[in-house]
Amino acid sequence: MSSAVKQYLLITGNYWAFTLTDGALRMLVVLYFYQLGYAPLDIALLFLFYELFGVITNLVGGWLGARIGLNRTMNIGLGLQIAALGMLALPQPMLSIPLVMAAQALSGIAKDLNKMSAKSAVKQLVPDNAESSLFKWVALLTGSKNTLKGVGFFLGGLLLTALGFQGAVLSMAIALAVVWIGSLALLKRDLGKATYKPKFREIFSKSSAINWLSAARLFLFGARDVWFVIALPIFLSQTLGWGESATGSFLALWIIGYGIIQAATPLILNTKENAPSKSTAVFLAASLTLIPATIALALSLGVTTELSTELILIVGLTLFALLFALNSAVHSYLIVSYAKSDGVSLDVGFYYMANAMGRLIGTLLSGVLFQIGQLGVDGLLLCLIASTLMIGFASAISLKLPANAN
């Protein structure tokens, strides 16, 4: 194998290992603290620092990666995740809200350092003017990551049942430490380092294409998390009476399927000759708008039997996974393509800052709106309406993108 392929595989392996722990930890925190009697808004607040520090990390991390190299930012991310898991392994009486929020802050920093490093590194490893190849590799990296995030959801529920909360996070910390040691030894030292020393003020993008794409990404991911992060798992477990393992397994399968679709996006969109463009992004976002709107309409028509509600959600979530995955994969390609090669992490970091801001807004709205709706169908309806509006904004903003990626 060439050196570039070896580095790609190592970066992907790091990203996969991190993603497993990240997905498992999210499911562990939601289910465990709901067991302890936390309200949906309280659980959303536990993730506040996770998302907030993700916003900050992407801005600073992109600049840091351009200055010191993506290998170092990726390894720092792995180390911080190990520290966060170690904090959460403390006995239950010591797990105060401030401590959990601090651990989530570390995990948020770690996650976005790791993701920014992985996505930026692909730009360095693919030849210039090979847009179809770039799309394929970005889609494969992104799709495989989300597939493993779904496996992580399942792993979180399984570990919670088998080992308890403290045992689960401690076992993940040990496994990730092994990966971290290997990464420190093998990852290329100068990967992604800019040929110049970028100034701190350069963390804000001056490219209109990247600014518009970042704004669209903010609304796109806010639209997903506004009903998926807090409202949906609690609705499934409380209103529909699904158990913890059933809820975790269903959401895990959804993420796995979503990741498989992302990885297969180049085949689905048939992009052998031409990579995705503005028209692709606009069409996919406009199509996605119909899904949460249709689910909300079906639920509001008075279909209240348990079986009918489950059927509406399962079919709706399947269609949402398909279209959201295509949207996400196209966006992930466009940012890497728009980004300048020298100091690529600056542009990618700014873009994923918007991604993290969208998740932050979506997570908070998911807890607030679902609680306003008294944790039942009305709460889920509010979240779905918000999702529809946010995707509509993403679709409109996408009209501002340049006609071609180059």
Of 53, 61, 182, 30, residue with least CA distance to 107: 53
Contact criterion met (CB below 8 Å) for 146 and 327: no
Contact criterion met (CB below 8 Å) for 81 and 169: no
The pLDDT score that the predictor gives to residue 272 is 64
Q: What is the pLDDT of residues 188-213, one digit of tens each?
A: 766 656 565 666 565 666 678 888 99
- Give the C-alpha separation, 147 to 153, whole Å: 10
Dihedral angle at the C-alpha atoms of 63, 143, 6, 353, nearest 10 degrees? Answer: 0
Other beta carbons within 10 Å of 293: 17
Amino acid code (one letter) for 218: L
Map residue 136 onto helix, strand or coil. helix
pLDDT for residue 112 is more than 70: yes
Of 354, 394, 380, 42, residue with least CA distance to 227: 380
**For residue 319, what are the CA distances in angstroms to 193, 221, 250?**
40, 16, 15
Of 348, 358, 263, residue with least CA distance to 58: 348
- Give the C-alpha separation, 89 to 183, whole Å: 24
The pLDDT score that the predictor gives to residue 307 is 55
Angle at 50 between CA 16 and CA 244, to 5 degrees: 70
The pLDDT score that the predictor gives to residue 341 is 63
pLDDT for residue 93 is more than 70: yes
Range with the largest mean pLDDT of 233-237, 262-266, 308-312, 319-323: 319-323
The pLDDT score that the predictor gives to residue 72 is 84
Amino acid code (one letter) for 178: V
- Give the C-alpha separation, 190 to 390, whole Å: 39
Q: Which residue has the tokens 């909360």?
A: 165
Amino acid code (one letter) for 238: Q
pLDDT for residue 148 is more than 70: yes
The pLDDT score that the predictor gives to residue 368 is 87
- pLDDT confidence bin for 62, thresholds 50/70/90: confident
Q: Which residues contact 349 (CB under 8 A, 6 or more apart)?
A: 58, 59, 60, 61, 62, 63, 65, 116, 120, 203
Q: What is the pLDDT of residues 282-309, one digit of tens each?
A: 999 999 999 999 999 988 886 555 558 8
**Angle between helical axes of 244-263 and 306-338 (0-180°, round to 10):** 40
The domains found in the chain, sorted by start residue, are 3-398 (1.20.1250.20)
Other beta carbons within 10 Å of 311: 13
